Amino acid sequence: MAVAPVEFVTDPALTLQLLAWTLAGASLGSLSGLVPGLHANNFALLLAGIAASVPGPPLFVGCAMLAAGVVHTFLNAVPAMALGVPDAEMAVTALPGHRLVLDGRGYEAIRLSALGSILAVLVAIPLAIPVTRAVTAFYPTIRAHLPLVLAMVVVALVASEYTWRARFGGVLSFTLAAALGVLTLDLSPDAPLEAGGMLAPLFAGLFGAPVLIDAVFGSGIPPQRDGTIELPRWLVGATALAGALAGAVVGYIPGISAAIAAVAVLVLVPGNAGDRGYIVATSGVDTANTIFALFALVAIGQPRTGVMVAFENVNAPLELPILLGAVLLAGVCGFVLVIVVGERYLELVGRMAYWKISTAVLGLLLVLSYLFTGPLGIVVFVVAAAIGMVPVRLRARRVHLMGVLIGPLILSG
């Protein structure tokens, strides 16, 4: 059978427009990623609110939305590492990125995050179709038994702790966070911004405030050494690959976060990856989830992330070759930006009075909580911050606080 030749036609004007829109979206995603406490879901809801009013061809606006979402997952690691670094005495309970910063390895942590994200882009694009087919084949079974699946995840997370004190802390943290989620997640308070949702005060309180509170009494960022990556190349690649594949799972199973997936990845990946592997895995999961969500929209017609909601709001056509080109370009932009901006971000923060920065960021989180959820958001933020201190003081992983989402899902069955 004769095969007709495939002819690729390029339009310079079309290419330039696509490039301009993608770069504009990448710029927006970089700015949003550098704002401490601006959760990806709230950023996506903001995009969804303005998407329909953005003038331009729907395909190009959709490319900009995707690019913004991808770059946001690269840059949001920078404030997570640079801001809220506690005192060295609290390093054992600090986030993995913070521990590396406290050890003078902040530049390495930023580069590991950048590698995890860009490798996830390079892996997720060619694997998206077969992985999406596999996940969609099993999804009905998973969805039918979702409470059981999530309960098994919770048990595995608690069992993965190294001490009985930490296991108790994990159970207590999960229980309190789950109760808070049951009481608040379905609330729809009046707020100045329509892109509301209780995730802003909940996540800022549970995960941001405790680190910042400890950082107020800390000694700030110590001098940072060179950014040489100490993790073997094969382990970086294997962890990023596993993280990228886990990103598909995160996109399909409600309540499973990048942090939870990263813990599972490190159990499955051979070698002693430690904090460095956790950073690579989490970044990979976060970025890959954005890409797999696009294919999930194509496969089952449902937007699985806030960015995909924004994408749908502009009625953008599902022209996968063009959209994937925008994603790849955004990934390259995000990789360069996170290294260049991230290292300077650390240097700038290191020269400033750290207690002032931590106090200012706490104030910013309060403001964001108010903007997204009104006065009620302030109350929720304070309660969430108190619960967020539980795993810190009991030396358990903070990932148990994801009970705020998992608990309500298990109960709703």
What pLDDT is attached to residue 3? 44
Q: Read off the pLDDT of residues 68-115 as tens digits, 9 standing for 90 and up.
A: 889 988 988 888 787 766 554 444 445 778 888 888 888 999 999 999
How many CB atoms sit inside 10 A of residue 126's CB? 10
The residue assigned the tokens 């879901």 is 41
Question: How confident is the model at residue 37, as a pLDDT?
Answer: 62
Q: Which residues, given as ranges, of the chain have pLDDT below 70?
A: 1-11, 37-54, 84-94, 194-197, 218-219, 251-252, 254-260, 262-273, 302-304, 306, 413
Query: What integer pLDDT is reported at residue 195 of this predicted model?
Result: 58
Q: Write out pLDDT tens, residues 11-49.
A: 677 778 788 888 988 888 888 888 776 666 566 666 666
Determine the Cα–Cα distance for residues 303 and 292; give it in Å rounded to an integer: 11
pLDDT at 10: 56
pLDDT value at residue 4: 44
How many Å apart are CA 139 and CA 249, to the nearest integer?
A: 10
